[in-house]
């Protein structure tokens, strides 16, 4: 692992913790977004209390709430979610090995399932196509000869449900990979009360990388709320 430093971060439950990172622009940016700007704080939503109460009702009913973190990076979002929703189980997908090692360090002791893999609509293999980008901006591309595993989100959700977990949040920040993720087999959308996604049309002008997401989400009765860089898709009813 590269040289690392520790920063004290404020968690949503009011506690503080030490978060390990490399001191790079990318890592510091992730820390700022998650712990300072509080990008995933449901309190910023008009319906935030509704979903906080939904989570508590799941816990009270003996359910095991599930969060799927697609693009987990070095673990900031997983740490945030785990503190915000005590008792949650977080499945983390991160395709870069160096990021993954920091992810493993930062979520130690939390209820997580860590996957060194990219996420998409179908299983397969991939390569990182922009290795010189910042650690928060790596993109993957399908390649039969690739050394990165690609997991089907549909399959993962089905496996977790079969193991007794109840979908609660799916968070997606995969640098344009949403184009393929939402191309097929999107029935899992209806399973999650909350879907959080960052779209990347700004990164790929005139490529329409968000079109498959927009088509898929339009088929569901959900609110569509922009907060900062993210869309919160909130299930109605």
Is residue 103 one of the residues assigned to a domain? Answer: yes
3-state secondary structure of 132: coil
**pTM of the complete model beyond 0.85:** yes
Domain containing 77 equals 40-235
Is residue 4 one of the residues assigned to a domain? Answer: no
pLDDT tens for residues 24-50? Answer: 999 999 999 999 999 999 999 999 999
Three-class secondary structure assignment of 70-85 = ECCCCCHHHHHHHHHC
Mean pLDDT is lowest, of 73-77, 128-132, 184-188, 190-194, for 128-132
Q: Quick check: 236 and 223 in contact, CB under 8 A?
A: yes
Domain count, the chain: 1
pLDDT band at 224 (very low <50, low <70, confident <90, very high): very high
pLDDT tens for residues 196-220? Answer: 999 999 988 999 999 999 999 999 9
Given a cut of 60, whether residue 130 has pLDDT beyond it is: yes
Is residue 68 one of the residues assigned to a domain? Answer: yes
Task: Tell me how far apart the alpha carbons of residues 110 and 104 are, in angstroms, rounded to a whole number.
Answer: 10
Is residue 19 one of the residues assigned to a domain? Answer: no
pLDDT tens for residues 90-108? Answer: 999 999 999 999 999 999 9
Is residue 63 one of the residues assigned to a domain? Answer: yes
Task: Tell me how far apart the alpha carbons of residues 64 and 66 are, in angstroms, rounded to a whole number.
Answer: 6
Given a cut of 80, whether residue 17 has pLDDT beyond it is: yes
CATH number for the domain that contains residue 62: 3.40.50.150
Is residue 187 one of the residues assigned to a domain? Answer: yes
What does the pLDDT average to over 78-99? Answer: 97
Is residue 108 one of the residues assigned to a domain? Answer: yes
Is residue 22 one of the residues assigned to a domain? Answer: no
């Amino acid at each position: 692992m590269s040289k690392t430093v520790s920063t004290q971060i404020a968690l949503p439950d009011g506690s503080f913790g030490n978060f390990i990172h490399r001191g790079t622009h990318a890592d510091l940016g992730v820390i700022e977004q998650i712990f300072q700007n509080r990008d995933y704080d449901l309190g910023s939503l008009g319906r935030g209390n509704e979903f906080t109460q939904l989570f508590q009702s799941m816990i009270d009913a003996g359910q095991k709430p599930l969060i799927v973190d697609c693009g987990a990076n070095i673990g900031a979002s997983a740490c945030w979610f785990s503190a915000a929703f005590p008792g949650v189980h977080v499945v983390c997908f991160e395709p870069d090995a160096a990021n993954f090692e920091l992810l493993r360090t930062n979520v130690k002791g939390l209820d997580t399932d860590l996957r060194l893999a990219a996420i998409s609509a179908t299983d397969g293999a991939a390569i990182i196509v922009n290795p010189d980008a910042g650690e928060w901006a790596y993109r993957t591309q399908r390649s039969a000869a690739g050394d990165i595993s690609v997991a089907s989100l549909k399959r993962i959700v089905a496996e977790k449900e079969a193991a007794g977990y109840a979908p609660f949040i799916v968070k997606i920040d995969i640098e344009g990979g949403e184009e393929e993720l939402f191309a097929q087999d999107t029935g899992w959308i209806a399973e999650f009360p909350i879907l959080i996604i960052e779209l990347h049309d700004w990164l790929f002008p005139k490529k329409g990388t968000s079109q498959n997401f927009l088509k898929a989400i339009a088929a569901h009765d959900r609110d569509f709320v922009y907060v900062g860089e993210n869309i919160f898709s909130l299930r109605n009813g």
